[in-house]
Amino acid sequence: MELLEYGEAEKSSSSLGFMELLSMQDFGPSLFDLLQGTLIPSVQLQVEPLPQDHSPELFLNPPTTPNSSSISSESTAGQNDEQTKEIVDGEEEEEEEEEEENHKTKKLLKPKKTASQKRQREPRFAFMTKSEVDHLEDGYRWRKYGQKAVKNSPFPRSYYRCTSASCNVKKRVERSCNDPSIVVTTYEGQHTHPTPVMPRSPAAVHALPPYSAFSAPDGPSAEMVLSHPQQHFNFSVLLNCGYTHAGPTNNTVSSGGGGGQSLRFCSDQSSALLTDHGLLQDVVPWSATKKEE
């Protein structure tokens, strides 16, 4: 269960991914133990309101050790907070159908997208992993729908979409230009379904996206900071969410004022937050079925 050693895990098998790590009841000690015990000496998970064009290296913390990796969370929802419109899961599905129609009609090219209906930004969660493979297995099935060269980076960025019918989770995978061994994976959206496929072998699980543990807080943006100073573990997440969660979840809200509300939590609160928000609901099965690592 190497959080960082995707590459290693890739070869050696027997690894738990983010999902599994995060699928634990919460960000309790176990996770931190895992992290500090065998994995990341220092994990930085941070999301900031970024300009649309943010290169991954912005988050990159050059590993201080071969095994270290950084986790970053990002979001660009802030760029269009006023468009936080009301795309919740249900509506997304409708929109999907609608889009399908558009697709069928070929290139009508989404006339439905008016200024007021600008594409809703899903909460995004990026993390960096050291891996030799670009596309890390995370338990879900993805279909690649695009690849683009990225400015300021010699490495292309790949775009994947969850193959599940009503699930429009996307992810982007790119390599850091600073450190080609680091893969930056950005998840966008939340899976609306349980993990479709259990890895046939432990080796199949290299990275289980942590984003699911940070489902949309109640607000355009949220920041979570989990820290265990005494363990030299610093885990911070900042989520920017372009939509409001279906459920009322403002028990931990503390508007951050300024450009976009930001929620900041400390480690103890974070687990509560995660729990309260049912953030791990979709990974529970993992937890339940979690085998030894």
User: In 3D, which of 234, 279, 243, 239 has the Cα closest to residue 262?
Assistant: 239
- Which is nearer to DNA, 146 or 247 (by Cβ)? 146
- From first CA to last CA, the distance across the chain in angstroms is 6
Gap between the Cα atoms of 205 and 139, Å rounded? 6
Give the binding range for DNA (CB under 7 A) out of 25-33, 35-43, 46-54, 222-230.
46-54
Our CB check for DNA shows the closer of 145 and 255 to be: 145
Residues 98-137 that bind DNA (CB under 7 A): 99, 102-103, 106-107, 109-110, 113, 115, 118-119, 135
The binder of DNA chosen from 11, 144, 232, 291 (CB under 7 A): 144
CB of 239 to DNA, least distance (A): 16
Q: How far is the CB of 91 from DNA (least distance, A)?
A: 16
Compute the least distance from the CB of residue 160 to DNA, in Å. Answer: 7
Of 172-231, binders to DNA (CB under 7 A) are 172
Q: Report 151-180 residues binding DNA (CB under 7 A).
A: 151-152, 157-160, 163, 170, 172
Minimal distance, residue 49 CB to DNA, in Å: 12
Question: 182: which strand partners?
Answer: 130
d(CA 65, CA 274): 30
159 or 233: CB nearest DNA: 159
d(CA 118, CA 85): 9
Positive or negative: CA dihedral 142, 148, 152, 154: positive
Cβ at position 196, least distance to DNA in Å? 9
- Judged by DSSP in three states, 170 sits in strand
Question: In the range 55-84, which residues lie near DNA by CB under 7 A?
Answer: 55, 76, 79-80
Nearest approach, Cβ of residue 183 and DNA (Å): 15
Compute the Cα dihedral for 112, 244, 73, 95 and give only its sign.
negative
User: Strands (DSSP E) along 205-252, which ranges?
Assistant: 221-228, 233-240
Give the Cα separation of 59 and 76 in Å (integer). Answer: 14
Single out the residue of 64, 66, 97, 145 in contact with DNA (rule: CB under 7 A).
145
Cβ neighbourhood burial of 106 (10 Å; 0-12, 13-18, 19+): exposed
CB of 221 to DNA, least distance (A): 15
Cβ closest to DNA, residue 203 vs residue 272? 203
In the chain, the amino acid numbered 102 is N
Q: Considering beta carbons, is residue 104 or 248 the nearer one to DNA?
A: 104
262 phi, psi to nearest 5 deg: -130, 140
Contact between 265 and DNA (CB under 7 A)? Answer: no
**Distance in Å, CB of 201 to DNA, minimum:** 16
Task: Name which of 185 and 269 has its Cβ closer to DNA.
Answer: 185
Integer Cα distance of 283 and 21 in angstroms: 10
| Residues forming a β-bridge with 171 | 160, 187
Q: Which residues of the shown chain bind DNA in the complex (CB under 7 A)?
A: 51-53, 55, 76, 79-80, 99, 102-103, 106-107, 109-110, 113, 115, 118-119, 135, 141-152, 157-160, 163, 170, 172
